[in-house]
Amino acid sequence: MNAHQQYKTRFEKDLAKCGVELNDVEQGDLIIAAVSGGMDSMLLAHALKITGAKFEVAHVNFKLRGEDSEGDAESVKKWCLENDVVCHVKHLPADEEAKQRGDGIQDAARRLRYAWFEELRAERGAAAIAVAHHLNDQAETLLIQLLRSVDPTALGGMAIRNGNIIRPFLDWKSEEIKDWVALDEVTYRDDKSNAELKYMRNRIRHEVLPLLESIRSGTVEHLAEWTVRLKKQGEAVESSMKEAASDIISYSDMLYNDLKSEDSNEICRVNIIAMNKNLWGERVVDRMLAQRVWSKGAREEALKLCNASVGAEVCYGEDSVLRERDSLILRRKVEEKLKTESESNSCLVEGDIGCVEGLVWAVEPGRGLVKIPSRRDVLWMDSRSFDGPLMWRCWRNGDKLYPSGMDGSVNVSDILTQWKIPNHLRGKAHVLVNRHGQLLWVYSEGEHECHSRISRLVTLTGLVDTLILKARL
């Protein structure tokens, strides 16, 4: 078997690895071949042609290199015309995209062309999009990812097939591609921008990889092999992290589906104990915050909350992370204005019957001595044990209660702590206050039950009219 036939046979096998059927031109899977006009992509088109694949060519003209860009487009169209291949050419404004998105031209161009390739694939009913990435591209990508300090699970590089993208040359060295191009006399155009060292990939291609090869021959293959190993390890790590995340992070729509969205700004909560016990604990939380576009520094500060006191908070963007007793709460930031309005909200309790926000009341005739009922959401008291109207309001810092059955006073903040009321619910706790500013009742709702405590100023004899108040926060 001559060299030409060896290359052709090898390419057919690699197409099969990509999941492409090569029955015949009429029955085989349609492929959209991404062809720029350069060496690698022109060999891809040539290889598809001589192996009898059913394919069409897609070329993007970004018009970034003046006459050279037009020359590339004309060269691709000419080849397609001579070989009776359908050719699709489209101009995409990579420069405008880069300005709008604030990234580099190359990133913008890559994003635009792949979006158009997929659009064209769906329109033509093609099975896959073939691109000409090879072994050296794989090694370059690994080094770029390392330099960018990406998530370790993303170091696996490119796959021979990823969704609708296939890479039949991925196991080929650039030298082998050059040999086949020379052997079959494949025409192509040199992209001068590939030699410009202002691009990271070009510097790695022309400076770093040759240096590494001079230090140790075969480095390119070794780096490419590492991407395969790292991909498998990354998949194992990803599976382990997903399992860890399910134990560590609980999202509000699962835990608190009985709460209305307007009643809580909570997004999720992190179980600190579970996080500390798990090997991937901090990594899971860090990734969750990264997905919400938290900066690295802000994520580090949020993780420090695990050793902070209850109530400590870190804010970033539209989010905040709040330390609770055994958890971190990720929530949407509550506007300070809304907090202030809530804290200053107060309603008068007067008359024999009525209701205000969070409270209803009524006065019943006295019926003799009675026992104080055990319902936590209801307060019974002699209506003549206080002078003037009562006030129902949100609790405030500094509020104190003189609890029934106890000497001295207790801060309401300490009462809420004893009840283990989460921070996101503390603002809803209410107090009943007499005209002298003395607290008669503290009421709060936790996640699973309500809590209340009365003052020793409250009396209930039943000998006089009884005031019955029911909280409904």
Q: In 3-state terms, what secondary structure has residue 48?
A: helix
The secondary structure element, H or E, covering residue 349 is: strand 346-349
- Give the C-alpha separation, 296 to 275, whole Å: 19
- Give the C-alpha separation, 170 to 220, whole Å: 12
DSSP state of 159: -
Give the start-end residues of each E strand in 134-238: 161-162, 165-166
Taking the chain (473 residues) in runs of 10, the rounded mean pLDDT of each run is: 90 91 67 96 96 94 87 95 96 84 81 94 94 94 85 80 94 94 94 80 92 93 89 86 93 52 73 94 93 91 92 89 92 57 67 85 73 79 80 90 88 88 82 90 88 89 81 77
Count CB-CB contacts under 10 A for residue 314: 21
Residue entry with tokens 């029934």: 404
Q: Which pLDDT score is estimated for 370?
A: 58
The secondary structure element, H or E, covering residue 57 is: strand 54-61
Q: Which pLDDT score is estimated for 340?
A: 45
Tell me the whole-structure pTM to 2 decimals. 0.60
Token output for 306: 């695990």
Q: Which pLDDT score is estimated for 240?
A: 92
| Selection from 141, 136, 162, 130 nearest residue 42 by Cα | 130
- Give the C-alpha separation, 467 to 460, whole Å: 9
DSSP state of 172: -
Nearby residues of 124 by Cβ (< 8 Å), 6 or more positions away = 30, 32, 56
Q: Which pLDDT score is estimated for 43?
A: 97
- Give the C-alpha separation, 381 to 395, whole Å: 20
Percent helix, strand, coil in the chain, to 5, is: 45, 20, 35
